[in-house]
Amino acid sequence: MSAVDFSAFVHQLADAAAEASLPFFRTALGATDKNVGGAFDPVTEADKAAEAAMRRLIAAQFPTHGVVGEEFGARDAGADYVWTLDPIDGTRAFLCGLPLWGTLIGLGKEGAPVYGMMSQPFTRERFFGDGARADWRGPGRDGRPIERRLATRPCEALAEATLMTTSPHLFSGDDAAAFARVAQGCRLVRYGGDCYAYCMLAAGHVDLVVETGLQSYDIAPLIPIIEGAGGVVTAWDGGSAAQGGAVVAAGDARLHAIALARLRG
């Protein structure tokens, strides 16, 4: 399959997810709690419909590829090529009517992320990359679609940095103390955003994202976008972030090194 065909297929996946999820946005949509007895972890019919639509397309086009998705689990996760799907990353924002959610689509080869896309159908934006390059596609001022290359911005000191995380309430114990060591030195700290925060980092509007408790489908599709824009993303121990867990992303390698040192205490 050629690069042009592959790109078209990923956009086709995003189109299918948008068609399934967008009609539910800003409606009286209910949610089921996947984490009964713990912190509220919502799932909606929009999540399920979007992932099912993408899985059908992948099975038809690439029957030997594996799939790991948030709503329907793993199929052939040991295959050479594995897709990671998060149909609505930011379901809480989705339920609140906030457009800070997105569909995450990633492809891994032999365990390493090689392509990723974040699609936000309400704003008609798409962020995508292959680790060497990343691009944004969305509406221009006249409403016509335009595309431009993504690039992170330089930032060598915490005192100059804008930091984002989804919620401070997701940190506890030692992780909360580690996050505080980073946050207290930053110029600006903002909460919310989920996958959108990482894309704003790739676009040069945010300098640092620090999170914990992520699953592979929360972060693997974003890694090629961040790296393709010139950023760095790892686990808190400096290793690969592809399997999730505690993750730190920075637009500047110098800032990433500082954040890692503070996270380690």
What's the chain's average pLDDT? 93
Token pair 């299918």: residue: 16
* pLDDT at residue 205 greater than cutoff 60: yes
The pLDDT of residue 32 is 67
* pLDDT at residue 31 greater than cutoff 70: no
* pLDDT at residue 247 greater than cutoff 90: yes
Confidence of residue 39 (pLDDT cuts 50, 70, 90): low
Q: What is the mean pLDDT of residues 10-26?
A: 96
Nearest-5° Cα angle at 127, 121 to 133: 160
Domains of the chain and any CATH numbers: 3-149 (3.30.540.10), 158-263 (3.40.190.80)
The pLDDT of residue 44 is 80
What is this structure's pTM? 0.93
The pLDDT of residue 2 is 44
* pLDDT at residue 210 greater than cutoff 80: yes
Lowest pLDDT segment from 1-5, 38-42, 72-76? 1-5
Q: Which of 88, 94, 92 shows the shortest CA–CA distance to 71?
A: 88
Q: Which of 47, 48, 65, 91 shows the shortest CA–CA distance to 10?
A: 65
* pLDDT at residue 34 greater than cutoff 80: no
Instruction: Identify each DSSP E strand in 77-196 by its residue range.
Output: 81-89, 102-109, 112-120, 125-129, 134-139, 145-149, 162-165, 188-191
List pLDDT tens digits, range 92-147.
899 999 999 999 999 999 999 999 999 999 999 999 999 999 999 999 989 899 99
Q: What is the mean pLDDT of residues 83-87?
A: 97
Strand, coil or helix: 208: strand
Lowest pLDDT segment from 26-35, 40-49, 85-94, 237-246? 26-35
* pLDDT at residue 258 greater than cutoff 90: yes
